[in-house]
Amino acid sequence: MQAISIEGGVTAAQGFLASGMYCGIRKNKSKPDLALIYSKVPCAAAAVYTQNLVKGAPIQVTRRNLADSIAQAVICNSGNANTCNADGEQKAQMMCEAAAKALHLEPEDVVVASTGVIGQVLPIEPILEATPKLAESLTEDGSADAAKAIMTTDTVVKEAAAEVTINGKTVRMGGIAKGSGMIHPNMATMLCFLTTDANIAPAVLDSALRIAVKDSFNMVSIDGDTSTNDMTAILANGLAENDPIEEGTEAFDLFTETLRAIAIRLARMVAKDGEGATKLLVCKVTGAASDADARTVAKSVICSSLLKAAMFGADANWGRVLCAIGYSGAPVDIHRVDVGFASRAGSIEVCVNGAGIPFDEEVAKKVLSEDEIDILVTLHDGNASASAFGCDLTYDYVKINGDYRT
């Protein structure tokens, strides 16, 4: 039985509610900055975090709160990362306490996250004041409101959800994400909150999450900068009443594949909405000797500033693709590499066996003028493949980041 995509995001699964509002952290009052996600019953929970040695205070607190693998709510603000501040953990703890009080939970059952400027003291009063109102406004339709409230320089709401039959029961899962800049997750991810009504033990949920993240968020790069606050958390409340999903079973594969598909959809949205981006770039590597080689090559290509700028200009400068493969660190035989470009407008081969071939520049321009571009790399070295997700480098990236704090 295949999974099917459904409408909605973090409230698509049974028993989950969400809300978002403006509380006063941002100067711009039209941009909501506080989100709440809540499950009617306690959930098995798992999370992965940034591998940056600088870790945001909310990550330290969430890690402690998830030590028992149980959670029932998520509170998240945008506009301030609450990182590199002396009182960071205290403030993150206060956010958990505020959410717990409003929802009649224990603070240890709350996941807390923050995103925004690093190194500015988090104003806690607006959050404490707004949280009771946020709790009152929780609804089953609140996913988009929560998704909006966690956005920073994101320009579009990122939600995805799917439904699948597991062990005879309908299981739903979905999530929201934010990305935009400082996006180059390493064994973790930008902010993403996933929910499911599946009945699944925490350890099994954790395995499924790690598999899903590996091919999705960990293959995204906007600018090569691994953030201090990356986090993906998943809550599973069991309301689907399926028999527990065990590792090594068909049910686990089905659950994980569905979760992975949702994570990839969200990862694509994050990449396409990178700071200043006008295009989603997907580097699809095939014919690699190993999974690791395929991933290394795909990520190296997607991270090349030169290639990203060329893609902005719809310039089929494939030499930059080859160059990025050459310095990736993967042991590739460069004389066997083929490169092509593809999009809705068609496809074109530009390099065979590591050397240029004549191609129609006008066709190439047309292919590269779409807003979703596949960069096709064939290594002729084995059977492994991988895809990485990135975006073009534009004037607006420079503009946004030239004066982000003001």
Residues in contact with a second copy by the rule CB under 8 A: 51-55, 81, 83-86, 117-121, 181-182, 184, 186, 223-228, 303-306, 309-310, 312-313, 315, 317-320, 322-327, 331-332, 334, 351, 354-356, 393-395, 397-406
Question: Is there a binding annotation on residue 241?
Answer: no
Smallest separation, CB 85 to a second copy (Å):
6
Rounded to whole angstroms, how far apart are CA atoms 252 and 260?
A: 12
Contact 289, 382 (CB under 8 A): yes
Give burial (CB, 10 Å; 0-12/13-18/19+) of 309: middle
- Which residue's CB is nearer to a second copy, number 133 or number 404? 404
CA 200 → CA 173, 192, 242, 246, distances in Å? 12, 19, 9, 8
Question: Is there a binding annotation on residue 131?
Answer: no
Q: Given the residues 115, 189, 232, 286, select the one marked as catalytic.
A: 189
Smallest separation, CB 381 to a second copy (Å):
12
What 3-state class would DSSP assign to 386? strand
- Which residue's CB is nearer to a second copy, number 28 or number 30? 28
Sign of the four-CA dihedral 7, 11, 17, 23: negative
- Which residue's CB is nearer to a second copy, number 168 or number 356? 356
Smallest separation, CB 301 to a second copy (Å):
11
- Catalytic site includes residue 189: yes
Smallest separation, CB 269 to a second copy (Å):
21
Rounded to whole angstroms, how far apart are CA atoms 89 and 59?
A: 9
**Residue type, position 37, single letter:** I
Rounded to whole angstroms, how far apart are CA atoms 312 and 295?
A: 23
Which secondary-structure segment (H or E) carries 376? strand 372-378
Contact 341, 375 (CB under 8 A): yes
Smallest separation, CB 27 to a second copy (Å):
15
Question: Is there a binding annotation on residue 189?
Answer: yes
- Which residue's CB is nearer to a second copy, number 136 or number 403? 403
- Which residue's CB is nearer to a second copy, number 18 or number 322? 322
- Which residue's CB is nearer to a second copy, number 257 or number 404? 404
CA 260 → CA 208, 209, 211, 255, distances in Å? 8, 8, 7, 9
Rounded to whole angstroms, how far apart are CA atoms 259 and 244?
A: 16
Q: How many residues does the chain have?
A: 406
Question: Is there a binding annotation on residue 83?
Answer: no
Task: Report residue 81 as tokens.
Answer: 């990362």
Question: Is there a binding annotation on residue 394?
Answer: no
Smallest separation, CB 309 to a second copy (Å):
3
Rounded to whole angstroms, how far apart are CA atoms 94 and 112?
A: 10
Active-site positions read: 189
Binding residues: 152, 178, 189, 275, 401, 406
Binding residues for substrate: 152, 178, 189, 275, 401, 406
